[in-house]
Structure 1
Amino acid sequence: MEHWAPLELDPASAGAGAGPRGLVEHLRASDDLGDLLVKHKALVFRGFHVTQEELGEVMDLLLPNRLAYVHGNSPRTKVGNNVYTSTEYPPQYDISMHNEMSYAHQWPARLLFFCAVAPETGGATPVVDGVRWLGSLDPEVREAFRQGVRYTQNLHGGKGFGKSWQDTFETSDRAEVEEFLAGSGSEFTWKPDGGLRVSQVRPSTTRHPVTGDEVWFNQADQWHAAGLGDETAAALQQIMPEEDLPQSVTFADGSPIPAHHVTQIRDRGLSEAVNVDWRTGDLLLIDNVAVGHGRRSFTGPRRILVAMSD
């Protein structure tokens, strides 16, 4: 399979004026952005020196209908109108490849990342072609996942390990949460301590709505203790049983997923990925079905913002 990488656009290659205004005018005049994204799967905008103050106008053009991060499992802070910090996971760790909210009944079609502050070292956003990721896995792994996976979340009620259900669903209204979960086909139970347990079965692959390409599309390696590394997994097992962790995953029938399957998925996704290194003012637009993304470890004050749309 031939090498794949995101398409990089700067003022010269785009035939646009330098600076944020040049990017805005270019995007307003473009009528093929959707086709370009389908063809290249990810687009990097460099050299336009966008600032956070000018970000809103750019986002309105790249993400026509920004979505809230409802039912998201990553630690984030909301910083604007459906704009979030990309993650608050500790900087010394890589984040493995994943498609945003592939565990949920609905997921965003597009993600836009914006570099407000570039890291001192490291901190790239690796991106992986989902077709290549699927093809890199051993046939026995693909076959094992054929029936899909079951994700389980334990969300506390305001104090505890992991995320609260209030933060996860951006509401403190139980009725709102119940309506959302009932519409998603999830099973859920309110706990006596005020927490919430949610379980849902989802497929392991999906097909791109335009190209029809089958891609690897699940977060089993991120939800499985083995994906955290041997030491962390062993420490968690000492604290609580796996079914009580903030998040866990099994095969759809409830049988355990072997750890070696999980590490193969994680490692091959990262090895197939292409790093997008950041400079302050850069933007990265990705097709969230065609492409998985992650994060490399870093030093310094890295600040990446993210927004998503349907």
Structure 2
Amino acid sequence: MPADGPLAPGGWRDLLPDIRAVVEARLPQAGGLLFRGFGIHGDAAFRSFVESFGKPLLDYDFGSTPRSAVDKGVYTSTEYPAHQSIPLHNEQAYTLQWPQTIWFHCVTAAATGGATPIADSREVFRRIDPAVRARFAERQLMYVRNYGNGLDLPWQRAFNTDDPVAVERFCRANAIAWEWTEDGELRTRQICQAVARHPATGEEVWFNQAHLFHVSNLPPAVRDSLLAVVEDETELPRHVFHGDGTPIADADLDHIRTVLDGCTRSFPWQEGDVMMLDNMLAAHGRDPFTGARKVIVAMADPVRSPDLPAA
């Protein structure tokens, strides 16, 4: 949503009534909005902008990727090496509670690449083969994670605490099964949705991270090396099964990835851009890049799955 002409003396703050009206009218339809030319630049300005919507920002609890806190409720985007792609996904769709709203702010654009591609999760749902869709929806998904050991996030970082009792309390409240292994590390299992219904629009969306957590997402050499050193696939740093514990067919995951690729839309970042997504209606990813790149993130509007026990 680019600004037309110079901004008023008060900048984007003078435009807040119009911005909120556009968000209310257009976000449920489009799934995402781009704010360009609004004079937003840097961590503090971004936080002020997202807080102007009047919604408390969320902490990145039970995270699956490395991030660093920039400010209260503001984080770096996923800190994976620049040469790696991050496939399309909905934020924290591997859990039973997730943010409905997510914002991205480009502080520094990459020299080349570094886009944040997006896709309409309603269109992904429609394009998934009906047999695959039904199989995933009915059987759900079981995510298994083994923390630490230099292969995945240490549990202290994933849960933002050094206290095992606090971890167990979080797991109990969020329907996560846990066990402490003989080497003192943590293993968790959680059964989650493969599809979800948007709480406001009532639309069904493809909403999971099976294609990310499954070992087939790894480069073949890495996959083979890991499988050679574990006795059971539940010992992998992260993996996913159908909810009944049976394997997911590689062919199903290949199909899902093909659908996601076909639904992808992308644009180059410009410094100062802010992208606002409905996290259930729009998936996002990251393209490889060269040069410095800084994109920061904030999240709000927690949604609880109907499968999550009452608080």
Provide the C-alpha distance between the structure 1 equivalents of 2:206 and 2:65, rounded to a whole number of angstroms: 20
Provide the C-alpha distance between the structure 1 equivalents of 2:296 and 2:168, rounded to a whole number of angstroms: 29
Query: What is residue 124 of structure 1 aligned with on the other side?
Result: 115
- Aligned identity (percent) is 35
Query: What is residue 79 of structure 1 aligned with on the other side?
Result: 70
Query: What is residue 307 of structure 2 aligned with on the other side?
Result: none
1:84-143 deviation per Cα after TM superposition (whole angstroms, max 9, x unaligned): 111111221221111100111110010000101101111111111111111222223212
SS of the residue corresponding to residue 171 of structure 2 reads: helix
CA contact (8 A) 1:49 1:280 kept: no
- Of 136, 142, 153, which aligns to 1:150? 142
- Of 5, 14, 28, which aligns to 1:38? 28
* Amino acid paired to 1:74: T
SS of the residue corresponding to residue 103 of structure 2 reads: strand
CA contact (8 A) 1:11 1:18 kept: no
CA contact (8 A) 2:90 2:209 kept: yes
Task: Quote how far apart the aligned CAs of 1:38 are.
Answer: 1.3
Q: Do structure 1's residue 308 and structure 2's residue 299 form an aligned pair? A: yes
Summarize the Cα distance change of 1:276–1:61 in structure 2 as closer, same or farther, 3 Å threshold: farther
Summarize the Cα distance change of 1:31–1:43 in structure 2 as closer, same or farther, 3 Å threshold: closer
* Amino acid paired to 1:253: D
Query: What is residue 25 of structure 1 aligned with on the other side?
Result: 14
Unpaired stretches in structure 1, ≥5 consecutive residues: 1-8
Summarize the Cα distance change of 1:18–1:128 in structure 2 as closer, same or farther, 3 Å threshold: farther
Query: What is residue 92 of structure 1 aligned with on the other side?
Result: 83
Query: What is residue 11 of structure 1 aligned with on the other side?
Result: 3
Summarize the Cα distance change of 1:63–1:199 in structure 2 as closer, same or farther, 3 Å threshold: farther
Provide the C-alpha distance between the structure 2 equivalents of 1:76 and 1:170, rounded to a whole number of angstroms: 11
1:165-186 deviation per Cα after TM superposition (whole angstroms, max 9, x unaligned): 1101111122221111101111
Query: What is residue 208 of structure 2 aligned with on the other side?
Result: 218
SS of the residue corresponding to residue 59 of structure 2 reads: coil
Provide the C-alpha distance between the structure 2 equivalents of 1:200 and 1:16, rounded to a whole number of angstroms: 50
Summarize the Cα distance change of 1:141–1:22 in structure 2 as closer, same or farther, 3 Å threshold: same
Provide the C-alpha distance between the structure 2 equivalents of 1:160 and 1:196, rounded to a whole number of angstroms: 13
SS of the residue corresponding to residue 151 of structure 1 reads: strand
1:248-296 deviation per Cα after TM superposition (whole angstroms, max 9, x unaligned): 1000110000112112212321221111320111110000011111111
SS of the residue corresponding to residue 278 of structure 1 reads: coil
CA contact (8 A) 2:8 2:14 kept: no
Query: What is residue 260 of structure 2 aligned with on the other side?
Result: 269
Provide the C-alpha distance between the structure 1 equivalents of 2:81 and 2:132, rounded to a whole number of angstroms: 30
Give me the CA root mean square deviation. Answer: 1.8
Task: Quote how far apart the aligned CAs of 1:160 are.
Answer: 2.8
Larger mean CA deviation between 224-233 and 300-309 belongs to 224-233
Provide the C-alpha distance between the structure 1 equivalents of 2:127 and 2:157, rounded to a whole number of angstroms: 36
Aligned pairs, number: 297
Task: Quote how far apart the aligned CAs of 1:211 are.
Answer: 1.1
CA contact (8 A) 1:11 1:22 kept: no
Report 1:199-210 matches (<5 A).
199-210=189-200
* Amino acid paired to 2:165: A
- Of 109, 131, 142, which aligns to 1:140? 131
* Amino acid paired to 1:115: C
Provide the C-alpha distance between the structure 2 equivalents of 1:18 and 1:266, rounded to a whole number of angstroms: 45
* Amino acid paired to 1:226: S
1:184-206 deviation per Cα after TM superposition (whole angstroms, max 9, x unaligned): 11111122322111101111000
Q: Do structure 1's residue 248 and structure 2's residue 254 form an aligned pair? A: no
Provide the C-alpha distance between the structure 2 equivalents of 1:154 and 1:170, rounded to a whole number of angstroms: 16
Larger mean CA deviation between 134-143 and 193-202 belongs to 134-143
Query: What is residue 4 of structure 1 aligned with on the other side?
Result: none
Provide the C-alpha distance between the structure 1 equivalents of 2:95 and 2:273, rounded to a whole number of angstroms: 29
Summarize the Cα distance change of 1:122–1:63 in structure 2 as closer, same or farther, 3 Å threshold: farther
Unpaired stretches in structure 2, ≥5 consecutive residues: 302-311
